[in-house]
Amino acid sequence: MRVAVITASLSLCISVLAQQVYQAQPTDDVWYYDQAFDPGFTAILRVWGNGQYAVDPTGARPALNFSYALAKWRLDGIPAGRQYQVLSAQITVVQTQPPGYTREEGEQFPLEARPLSSTNFTETRWNFNDPNNPEVGSEIFGTSRMTNYRTDAPFAIPIPLERELFESYFNAAINQNNGELGIGFVSRLDPGGQGGTRFYRFYSRNDAGGRGPVLQIVYRVAGDVNGDGCTNDTDLLLVLFNFGTNNAQADLNGDGVVNDADLLQVLFNFGNGC
């Protein structure tokens, strides 16, 4: 009887804010290209590659055969000093009308979201020749989907991010980079074959219509079942009391069942955020 009462009261607080959602446009985005006009404040970012590579393999700055877009976000409202579990993450950009590529070309040569070596840039002080400009990493967090492709209107390009790849980058941004997270947009798509018009053109944060890139992250404090920001014995009990059920909040790894894998997540993160 006593256990039943405790279980009921724990279940009541289980639904409170366990998962949180961050969603925002970048604080800065720039068109990284040697001939870029108004790179910090252009309303349209442009990305292309050489058909084989998305990032110049010589390590040179993007010019002629390559064009990148850089963006950085400030992860406001997510406290440092704890580890987070990323449940899902996605960047959505909006392609201008009309696209310079077919749906098939978009699928074959997707837009890629990659890490940046630093967030040491701003659109107001952007200088193509600055030796400290960020480098685009080799890891690919996610590639674009052409599900909304159309030629008669701008369309949203979702770039779902690989949860496990992105999670450590997200944690590093919060705990080691003052909450700043940088993303490089690149693609292998080669404009050459289409008279120079076949490349990604998507709105920047400076678009008057507000159609700039949006980063959405669903996250929670790792191991924190009840969402109070601390992983402790309360969370342990919630997993134990829901053991064998499909309780969504206690199912920390999201595989549809509360079992020892979820218990281990609490134990490995015990004390996190407390």
Q: Interacting stretch for Ca ion, rule CB under 5 A, among 66-74, 142-150, 187-195, 229-237?
A: 229-237
Q: How far apart are CA 140 and CA 152, in angstroms?
A: 30
**Cβ distance 133 to 61 under 8 Å?**
yes
**Does 167 participate in binding Ca ion (rule CB under 5 A)?**
no
CB of 262 to Ca ion, least distance (A): 4
Of 74, 93, 12, 69, which Cα lies nearest the Cα of 184? Answer: 69
CB of 55 to Ca ion, least distance (A): 21
**Does 251 participate in binding Ca ion (rule CB under 5 A)?**
yes
Secondary element (H or E) of residue 266: helix 260-268
**Does 226 participate in binding Ca ion (rule CB under 5 A)?**
yes
**Cβ distance 172 to 165 under 8 Å?**
no
Which one of residues 11, 20, 175, 253 is an interface residue with Ca ion (CB under 5 A)?
Answer: 253
User: Euclidean distance between the first and final Cα of the chain, in Å?
Assistant: 31
In terms of CB distance, is 54 or 238 closer to Ca ion?
238
Of 199, 112, 212, which Cα lies nearest the Cα of 156? Answer: 212
Quick note: the x/- pattern for Ca ion over 172-211, rule CB under 5 A, is: --------------------------------x-x-----
**Does 148 participate in binding Ca ion (rule CB under 5 A)?**
no
Please give the structure tokens belonging to residue 40.
Answer: 């910090």
Of 99, 39, 100, which Cα lies nearest the Cα of 70? Answer: 39
Site for Ca ion in 254-273 (CB under 5 A): 255, 262
In terms of CB distance, is 148 or 253 closer to Ca ion?
253
Q: How far apart are CA 143 and CA 53, in angstroms?
A: 14
Strand order in the sheet with 68-74: 28-32, 68-74, 180-187, 111-115, 142-143
Q: How far apart are CA 104 and CA 182, in angstroms?
A: 29
Number of residues in contact with Ca ion, rule: CB under 5 A?
13
Quick note: the x/- pattern for Ca ion over 98-137, rule CB under 5 A, is: -------------------------x--------------
Q: Interacting stretch for Ca ion, rule CB under 5 A, among 101-109, 135-143, 148-156, 248-256?
A: 248-256
Distances (CA, A) of 264 to 96, 212, 218: 46, 40, 21
In terms of CB distance, is 148 or 234 closer to Ca ion?
234
- Helices within 52-206 (DSSP H only): 103-108, 163-176
In terms of CB distance, is 14 or 146 closer to Ca ion?
14
**Does 171 participate in binding Ca ion (rule CB under 5 A)?**
no
CB of 138 to Ca ion, least distance (A): 25
Which chain residues interact with Ca ion by CB under 5 A?
29, 123, 204, 206, 224, 226, 228, 230, 235, 251, 253, 255, 262
